[in-house]
A and B are shown apart, each in its own frame.
Chain A
């Protein structure tokens, strides 16, 4: 076992990594006869950037969907903040402070960027329906507070110029950024990113990497991400889980994973004789 997996340390660049936030214990997920995830355990520490990598079809996205409640595993337990999580619907998971983005962007195409990001605040709105309709007292104060958070995030991700643009008209790279903004608007404890850089050019990838690092650094958000681009993953993450054919074949710091023979075989292929 790696000495660092216990958590509670300071990284080389001075970020504080806390205790275990989320723990996946012996997760198995099946679709009919197909086993998508086979008995996988790993943990995510507070404040870290945790990557899940693996070849196509390894079960990475399924894993993210288990964490965010879109799939319920047949076996295994999910522990969050030291408590076993009962079976939950995705919206309940979101209300617990876990936000996510999707591999094939899922935005509200008909709404403006601002409205999209505002939907991220829904879990923070408490005032009643009627008082919101007549725009009084608490509701007004709440709306202003939410707007402030949202504007801060919009500034942070440098999308001020497109605030009022309907999302459907934006190019792919910007859509990805808006989706990140919406997830951040929820001020999540844990942020799940499903291939945040898929289909981007080098420049866009660099921007996105910078945003991910800044989010983690400035807001202290714990991040779990799936990514194909090995270079990016190794630069960004504190620890990496490697999956192949639904099984975990490696877990550790980027350096450890890079030198793991099984991982090398899975990525480069190995001669079967």
Chain B
């Protein structure tokens, strides 16, 4: 029995780490939804686009090389330099800020005060557009992303747990770094929103647009800011997922996994996104481990959605969401 118990412990630990990655994606959704009421379907594609751009910059790839070659009959592919990971990350973050500004300037500025469903459809359009741009800019082949994060089994944990319990835990180094990065990211976000002028303004905009205007807050600036932050969160998520499974276009589908996370945690709560991510991560790994063998496995594909459905029935606002009470 202890054997079984230790194995379950390992499953839970791995679930927690997978949950961190889900939470990272969900976090991007929550940020934008809170500040502007837009459910950003493009968040997953933003993570993909950020990861593509990062790889492209690191490898010195020439953007739009396919079109350039086709138009001018040239054979350009690479600049012939390699950019160090840290610099490339900073440059990519810059690209995401420009992207945020463009989105605000050319899409959402024209859709102020529209129905949520229209804003949502705009983000669907944005998602497909961005996916196309990503393809055009950097090509559609699967790329390897290596920003120098340690990969593979953590020997130390393996050895220590083996000595202590007689059973070595298998924990991926990459998952550990993802967790550490996520903790820092969330801490920085919380400090930002609680202690800075811009953070205070962001919370104000999230609460009431009209009141925010009356105390001198520029809604446009805050929306560009929040899209930039969401872009940065997408970059971090893109790095982690890209390092784990390569930068490929199926990466944009991780956005779908963030949906059940949001339903669990509530669409407006940052702690909710984190706790929701962890619950889904642990839940699906544990369910696969315990119940999976009885039903023929592959439960990870649907478990999260069923859990989210149950939540929708019994607690529609999620664990941390605000309960909506309409006064009549």
Contacts and interface: CB of A to CB of B under 8 A. Distances in A.
A102 B210 contact: yes
A133 B196 contact: yes
Q: Could you say which interface size class chain A belongs to?
A: 20 to 34
Q: Main SS of the interface on chain B?
A: helix
Interface string B284-317: 0000000000000000000000000000000000
A70 B203 contact: no
Nearest to B207: A108
Contacts of B217: 91, 119, 122
Interface in A92-141: 94-95, 99-102, 106-111, 115, 118-120, 122-123, 125, 127, 129, 132-133, 135
B258 to A, nearest CB: 23
A123 B216 contact: yes
B195 A108 contact: no
Contacts of A102: 210-211, 214
A90 interface: yes
B214 A68 contact: yes
Interface in B194-223: 195-198, 200-201, 203-204, 206-208, 210-219
A70 B208 CA distance: 15
A170 B191 CA distance: 27
A129 B196 contact: yes
Contact of A133 (B191, B200, B210, B212): B191
B184 interface: no
Interface string B259-272: 00000000000000
A186 B215 contact: yes
A182 interface: yes
A129 B197 contact: yes
A99 B214 CA distance: 7
Given A122-B201, A133-B191, A106 B214 contact: yes
Interface residues of B, number: 25
Interface string B167-204: 00000000000000000000010011001111011011
Contact of B211 (A68, A108, A123, A135): A108
Given A91-B219, A107-B208, A122 B213 contact: no
A68 B213 CA distance: 10
Contacts of A15: none
A169 interface: no
Contact of B200 (A95, A109, A122): A122
Given A109-B208, A133-B191, A122 B197 contact: yes
A125 B198 CA distance: 10
Contacts of A120: 215
A183 B192 CA distance: 24
A125 B215 CA distance: 12
B195 A132 contact: yes
A85 interface: no
B90 to A, nearest CB: 15
A19 to B, nearest CB: 25
A227 B216 CA distance: 24
Contacts of A108: 203-204, 207-208, 211-212
Given A102-B214, A110-B206, A123-B216, 12 more contacts: A70-B213, A89-B218, A100-B214, A108-B208, A111-B203, A111-B207, A115-B200, A122-B197, A122-B215, A129-B196, A132-B196, A183-B214
25 contacts: A68-B214, A70-B213, A89-B213, A90-B213, A91-B216, A91-B219, A94-B214, A99-B215, A100-B214, A102-B210, A102-B211, A106-B214, A111-B203, A111-B207, A115-B203, A119-B200, A119-B215, A120-B215, A122-B201, A122-B204, A122-B217, A125-B197, A132-B197, A133-B196, A186-B215
